[in-house]
Amino acid sequence: MPQRLDLRNVAIVAHVDHGKTTLVDALLWACGAFGEHEHVDDRAMDSGDLEREKGITILAKNTAVHYRGPAAAENGAPGGVTINVIDTPGHADFGGEVERGLSMVDGVVLLVDSSEGPLPQTRFVLRKALAASLPVIVVVNKVDRSDARISEVVEETMDLLLSLASDLAEDHPDLDLDTVLDVPVVYASAKAGRASLTQPTDGTLPVDEGMEAVFHTILQRIPAPSYDEDAPLQAHVTNLDASPFLGRLALLRVHNGTIRKGQQVGWAKQDGSVAPVKISELLRTEALTRVPAESAGPGEIVAVAGIEDIMIGESLVDLEDPRPLPLITVDEPAIAMTIGINTSPLAGRVRGAKVTARQVKDRLDRELIGNVSLRVLPTERPDAWEVQGRGELALAILVEQMRREGFELTVGKPQVLTRKVDGQVLEPMERLTIDIPEEYLGSVTQLMAARKGRMETMTNHGTGWVRLEFLVPARGLIGFRTRFLTETRGTGIAASIFEGWEPWAGAITARTTGSLVADRAGAVTPYAMINLQERGSFFVQPTSEVYEGQVVGENSRGEDMDVNVTREKKQTNMRSANADAFENLVPPRQLTLEESLEFAAADECVEVTPNDVRIRKVVLPATERFKIAAARRRAEKAES
């Protein structure tokens, strides 16, 4: 089969914060994509507000660089090589984006931090790449870190490659272990824009060769796209975008044939039917912009306009000889939560907010178009829906995006999805990797034991830090992050990846403290907060408005407590000897959306508005809650 020697398609994959987006920036700079004097912010590929705020990549994006260095001529392309680069998310919750990105490329660049080494997401993306028989290039990034341990990290990466290849050997008999382990290693500091094939001394920069080592290795090890000259048009839709002028854009990879602007093609839908459509516009990516093109051949990644209802996974084919490509499949969701309209007494107070069930449902339907790992199912209530996703962060990001778009929502506490096989209930398990200072080893081990975590490995690198690896039920990680950061004084690092399904592990006590619940509506007074602050910590500010059933703080004891935070000091004509000392009021805790979802108990939910995030009881009136609790106790007593 012939190959496009002037083209390479590669995905950059890694764990969170190992420098994927910074490496893409370095490749763009090296090829002059930004011009000599143009000022471009760091992490140019992280274009979303949430991506920049959180410092993570949420959506897979593609860019293209045109490399004209000496390695291009060596590989049969004297005019230069176009390298399509897919920047993928590093967080396990956005694994659907990674799987979609891998379907577009012919090889992967695996980025590994020179100090942290391989972490859970590294294992996830490597497994997917090996299963797809994609060649791998290892780039050890941040080699100039003061705590770099380059040799050990390379050894750990090779051990991981061998372990994954051995696990996959049964299902993929064509997987050659010698080929898997024969991977090139590039040493880089993406932030400094330098890379080398020679291992530098720990903590020093590579030899100043720019990014030539990365380009050279990509051209040597990543195969050029191959195609069948006699095959008709086959193009796979792998992503969706939108333009204010052109409407919906379908991002696709052309596998065979040629697609042209104005061409009549077949749209192969998910139900198996093929409809004729016209390509009204064809766009090719150059650096960070899309430019019009007349045609695109095999191996190219382009965007087309003119097909308003096209979905991810569908194909564009030849009308006379349609040969649809297989649909993109991703791993099933493991976490679910309920999203519905805001039902609190303060609903509709924000001018212009979107508060109707129709608006919420339309927004969730739009999210399904571009998010292949999400599911939206109906519930018993007509104004609420069950949203299923890979993890807590992915669902929280969706809610945060909707909040910023002006929606008011009631969001339930995340719950794990279970399966029943041969009469046995199975639950999702996570492989959790933790890096902590040695002094917190005991407290973290105790915390994980309470959440049914099983320690598999413990490694002491001799630097004062310990790496622990646990298998823990996914529901044990709901609310884990806040407790973990508290136990480690904010120094611990934890990351997890889906590991599989195991029998139900039993009851888990996720939160040992109760809630302080407002027993009436009104404005919060400093006088009431000062008298109650010994009971626990508050989430509300003085003068803020509350309602009955709203969670206003955390009780230091294990049970919920109804409190009056609106109480005012009685007015008298006598001056108090000890005047109100409001400076003694402990500042309240400001919970983010993610922290609120973690904190909420089983009988609580989160009220989300464009201006505020509040925790509340599902049943607001105290009398109703007491009746429900009494009925539950009677039922438990009858069962016993």
Q: Which residues are annotated as a binding site for GTP?
A: 17-22, 141-144
Amino acid letter, residue 457: T
H-only helix segments in 132-209: 150-168, 177-181
- CA–CA dist 563, 428 (Å, integer): 38
Nearest Cα neighbor of 222 from 139, 165, 297, 283 is 139
User: SS3 of 446, please?
Assistant: helix
Angstrom distances, CA of residue 106 to CA of 11, 12, 133, 225, 584: 8, 12, 9, 7, 63
- CA–CA dist 330, 553 (Å, integer): 40
Helix axes 480-487, 441-450, angle to 10 degrees: 160
Handedness of CA 502, 507, 513, 515 (dihedral sign): positive
Nearest Cα neighbor of 336 from 413, 222, 409 is 413
Can you read off the two tokens belonging to residue 145? 């870190």
Handedness of CA 387, 391, 394, 395 (dihedral sign): positive
Helix or strand (DSSP H, E) at 566: none
- CA–CA dist 18, 25 (Å, integer): 14
Largest CA distance in the chain: 98
- CA–CA dist 241, 475 (Å, integer): 34
